[in-house]
């Protein structure tokens, strides 16, 4: 399916993000800092809802996963062992005239794409941000901002094994910031120099890796659809052998069809035993696993589903963006999955008198104990619905004259615009039901067993 039939453009998304407080440019009052972004009041809620959904589905709901939160700053030996000091580079060229820098592998010709000037020879540029630990700025105190969260998991493999009684196959997940001094960042949140990752390192017995790789590819591909991204805008693309990272035996990307083309949301790699082997060799610590049942000792293989946060967030926004006509007026509507929507419900008094604002504020305060709920009394009811549609609020609760008589309200659905009347006392239960996790993860217990528990 082509993007041309969709109303969304990157310009509309960036405008909406700024206008409604999803995303602002970093340090904007000083002219901004290239490729760094701040999440505003609505963006931070959306981001939290995405990371919480990921954590709930991949860590909490699974018996074979545990979580971790390792430090961003790590021993410099980590990056030697992982191959990042030597190999985490992009080929860089400079324009001799306009001084702009480009990735040599992204240029289509021998001249500067901006001014047609002559380019320097390509040289390898390491993408890790370097800094110094302590007061002395010398090579002995050089450390790096981590370019992936993954290494924090590998160096804690034995700690987790010793402290948690996990048995292979099992995985460790973590969410955290990573930093890459990208030569050509861009496309809004898509490629930035500071970003967040949601990573899983899943440890398996060598020989079981191909099967687990397939399972994780299916699981992660389904996850994006579970939270509303349309199937036709997603694809799973296998890497060619020339594209593989230095550590990978195989890799497939979950790609999304952005307005700027198909691009990666998440990579699912088979890292073999590359990392544990390198860390064993470099640290001198035995990182092998002893299987009590088979009495075998081996270095586990690793399947790594590695997602960003900003890229999926952008994909959820792009996929949710729609324009239609409501009550004869054009509207922008974000059809976000209610579980991801920043604000869950808005409460409106139909009139700014007759006790309706006071009643609506009480309802807001009660619901706010459980959900992010907002109150709005400014402008016509139609305009107030529109304001909420534009930020994806799934439910509009209106207090009217009937509320004052029988304690019922209308609940309007963002997508169908249908309204149903229900008692105020049922609101919290109703919202909770509509916001509950829907489809269970496919790896889990079978349907009958689940139904019995539920």
Q: Is 176 in the site for ligand GAP (CB under 6 A)?
A: no
Q: Which of 57, 257, 266, 273 lies at the binding interface for ligand GAP (CB under 6 A)?
A: 266
3-state secondary structure of 379: coil
Q: Are 442 and 218 in contact (CB under 8 A)?
A: yes
Q: Is 199 in the site for ligand GAP (CB under 6 A)?
A: yes
Min. distance of Cβ 193 from ligand GAP in angstroms? 7
Q: Is 373 in the site for ligand GAP (CB under 6 A)?
A: no
Q: Is 386 in the site for ligand GAP (CB under 6 A)?
A: no
Measured from the CB atom, the residue of 253 and 337 that comes closer to ligand GAP is 253
Which residues on adjacent β-strands are paired with residue 331?
Answer: 324
Structure tokens at 283: 């640290």
Q: Is 152 in the site for ligand GAP (CB under 6 A)?
A: no
Neighbours of 374 (CB within 10 A): 18
Q: Is 280 in the site for ligand GAP (CB under 6 A)?
A: no
CA–CA dist 120, 97 (Å, integer): 10
Measured from the CB atom, the residue of 176 and 394 that comes closer to ligand GAP is 176
Min. distance of Cβ 451 from ligand GAP in angstroms? 35
CA angle 69, 74, 79 (to 5 degrees): 115
Secondary structure string (H, E, C) spanning 7-23: CCCHHHHHHHHHHHCCE
Q: Which of 37, 195, 258, 385 lies at the binding interface for ligand GAP (CB under 6 A)?
A: 195
Pairing type for strands 142-144 and 130-132 reads: antiparallel
CA–CA dist 45, 41 (Å, integer): 7
Residues 89-128: x/- map of binding to ligand GAP (CB under 6 A)?
Answer: ----------------------------------------
CA 337 to chain centre: 14
CA–CA dist 421, 369 (Å, integer): 22
Residue in the shown chain whose Cβ atom is closest to ligand GAP? 308
Q: Is 272 in the site for ligand GAP (CB under 6 A)?
A: no
Q: Is 308 in the site for ligand GAP (CB under 6 A)?
A: yes
Cis peptide before 288 (omega within 30 of 0): no
Measured from the CB atom, the residue of 117 and 185 that comes closer to ligand GAP is 185
Which residues on adjacent β-strands are paired with residue 200?
Answer: 173
Neighbours of 144 (CB within 10 A): 20
Measured from the CB atom, the residue of 14 and 377 that comes closer to ligand GAP is 14
Q: Of 393, 387, 398, 400, which is closest to residue 371 (Cα–Cα)?
A: 393
Min. distance of Cβ 109 from ligand GAP in angstroms? 25
Measured from the CB atom, the residue of 245 and 361 that comes closer to ligand GAP is 245
Q: Which of 13, 53, 160, 265 lies at the binding interface for ligand GAP (CB under 6 A)?
A: 265
Min. distance of Cβ 251 from ligand GAP in angstroms? 8
How many positions of this chain bind ligand GAP (CB under 6 A)? 19
Q: In what order do the strands lie in the sheet with 250-258?
A: 65-68, 170-179, 194-204, 301-308, 261-272, 250-258, 234-238
Min. distance of Cβ 134 from ligand GAP in angstroms? 28
Q: Are 23 and 47 in contact (CB under 8 A)?
A: no
Q: Is 275 in the site for ligand GAP (CB under 6 A)?
A: no
Q: Is 255 in the site for ligand GAP (CB under 6 A)?
A: no
Neighbours of 154 (CB within 10 A): 23
Measured from the CB atom, the residue of 94 and 148 that comes closer to ligand GAP is 148
Min. distance of Cβ 326 from ligand GAP in angstroms? 34
Which residues on adjacent β-strands are paired with residue 24?
Answer: 38
Q: Is 70 in the site for ligand GAP (CB under 6 A)?
A: no
Q: Is 192 in the site for ligand GAP (CB under 6 A)?
A: yes
Q: Is 215 in the site for ligand GAP (CB under 6 A)?
A: no
CA angle 356, 360, 364 (to 5 degrees): 170
Q: Is 252 in the site for ligand GAP (CB under 6 A)?
A: no
Q: Of 195, 258, 162, which is closest to residue 37 (Cα–Cα)?
A: 195
Measured from the CB atom, the residue of 247 and 385 that comes closer to ligand GAP is 247
Q: Is 39 in the site for ligand GAP (CB under 6 A)?
A: no
Measured from the CB atom, the residue of 52 and 264 that comes closer to ligand GAP is 264
Structure tokens at 238: 């296998």
CA–CA dist 426, 413 (Å, integer): 16
Q: Is 307 in the site for ligand GAP (CB under 6 A)?
A: yes
Backbone angles phi, psi at 238, to 5 degrees: -75, 140
Per CB under 6 A, residues contacting ligand GAP are 148, 150, 180, 182, 191-192, 195, 197, 199, 264-267, 304, 306-308, 310-311
């Amino acid at each position: 399916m082509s993007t041309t039939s969709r109303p969304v453009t990157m310009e509309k998304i960036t405008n909406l993000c700024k206008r409604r407080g999803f995303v602002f440019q970093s340090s904007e009052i000083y002219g901004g800092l290239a490729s760094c972004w701040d999440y505003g009041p609505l963006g931070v809620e959306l981001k939290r809802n995405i990371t919480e959904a990921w954590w709930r589905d991949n860590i909490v709901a699974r018996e074979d996963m545990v979580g971790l939160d390792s430090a961003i700053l790590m021993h410099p030996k980590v990056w030697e062992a992982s191959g990042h000091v030597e190999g985490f580079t992009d080929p860089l060229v400079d324009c001799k005239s306009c001084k702009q820098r480009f990735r040599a592998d992204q240029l289509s010709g021998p001249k500067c794409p901006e001014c047609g000037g002559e380019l320097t020879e390509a040289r390898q540029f390491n993408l890790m941000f370097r800094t110094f630990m302590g007061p002395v700025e010398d090579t002995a105190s050089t450390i790096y901002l981590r370019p992936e969260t993954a290494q924090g998991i590998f160096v804690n493999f034995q700690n987790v094994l010793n402290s948690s009684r996990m048995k292979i196959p099992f995985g460790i997940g973590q969410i955290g910031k990573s930093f890459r001094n990208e030569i050509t960042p861009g496309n809004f949140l898509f490629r930035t120099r500071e970003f967040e990752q949601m990573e899983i390192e899943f440890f398996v017995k060598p020989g079981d890796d191909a099967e687990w790789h397939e399972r994780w590819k299916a699981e992660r591909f389904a996850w994006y659809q579970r939270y509303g991204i349309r199937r036709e805008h997603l694809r799973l693309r296998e890497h060619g052998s020339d594209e593989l990272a230095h550590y990978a035996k195989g890799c497939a990307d979950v790609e999304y069809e952005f307005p700027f083309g198909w691009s990666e949301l998440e990579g699912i790699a088979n890292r073999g035993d590359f990392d544990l082997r390198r860390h064993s060799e470099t640290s001198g610590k035995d990182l092998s696993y002893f299987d009590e049942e088979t009495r075998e000792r081996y270095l586990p293989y690793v399947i790594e589903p590695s997602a960003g946060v900003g890229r999926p967030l952008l994909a959820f926004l792009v996929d949710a963006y729609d324009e239609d006509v409501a009550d004869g007026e054009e509207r922008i509507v974000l059809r976000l999955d209610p579980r991801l929507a920043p604000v869950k419900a808005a409460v409106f008094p139909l009139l700014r008198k007759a006790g309706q604002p006071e009643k609506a504020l009480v309802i807001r305060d009660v619901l706010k104990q459980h959900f992010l709920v907002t109150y709005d009394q400014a402008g016509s009811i139609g305009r107030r619905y529109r304001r909420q549609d534009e930020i994806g609020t799934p439910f509009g609760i209106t207090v009217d004259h009937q509320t004052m008589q029988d304690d019922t309200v209308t609940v309007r659905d963002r997508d169908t615009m249908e309204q149903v009347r229900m008692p105020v006392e049922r609101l919290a239960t109703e919202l909770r039901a509509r916001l509950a996790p829907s489809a269970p993860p496919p790896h889990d217990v079978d349907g009958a067993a689940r139904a019995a528990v539920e």
